[in-house]
Amino acid sequence: MTRRAHRILLAAVATASITASMAASLLLTGVAQALPPLPLPPLLGGPHAGERSEEPARTPPDGPAPSPVSPPRAAPDETGWAGRIVALTNDERARAGCGTVATDDRLAAAAQAHARDMADRNEMSHVGSDGSTFDERIRAAGHDEPGAENIARGYPDPETTMREWMASSGHRRNIVNCDYVTIGVGYDARGNFVAQEFGRPE
């Protein structure tokens, strides 16, 4: 092989090595950019989220009042979500110096109906498909002193749901409001929709 041919071969090998190195760098950069950390699903709300003072009645002017909420159609929550969220709620209340909240069947019925309604629509909202607000749903279930509502969707377990609620000032305010004395939690596995209703003393 001539000296000139040898130099051309060495230059080609060096160029190929640089090109491969640049390609690997671009590939790694592309992977890093294409796989960002997955964000947790959203919580709905903000300051005073779901509190009665922030949720004026929005019944359609020509529509009928919400019909009474019937007991949940589903069998008792075999997943344990509802009971676990109640227990976690009382843990947080105890840390904040509040009394425990007792489970109320009327609030649980309103919560379960709303969780099912959100799952039916695949939409998280404090407003029901019939235009009802949380306080209207609670009263329709027979509880005369609505307190607040927290909702969530998509979290993998009750613990994560509670942790994200506690990281939101409005949701946390509802959970550790010492004026609330009763609670009802609804859960639908189609998207892990959760509704948490609070009641004041009647």
- Cα distance between residue 120 and residue 123, in whole Å: 8
Give the residue from 73, 187, 177, 196 showing the smallest Cα distance to 138.
196
> Parallel, antiparallel, or unpaired for β 146-152 and 193-199?
antiparallel
Phi/psi at 149 (5° precision): -140, 135
What are 73's two structure tokens?
Answer: 């159609």
pLDDT value, residue 89: 98
Say what the pTM is.
0.67
Per-residue pLDDT of the chain (202 residues; tens, 9 = 90+): 555 544 444 444 444 343 333 333 322 222 222 223 334 555 554 333 334 333 333 333 344 444 444 444 444 455 699 999 999 999 999 999 999 999 999 999 999 999 999 999 999 999 999 999 999 999 999 999 999 999 999 999 999 999 999 999 999 999 999 999 999 999 999 999 999 999 999 9
pLDDT value, residue 1: 53
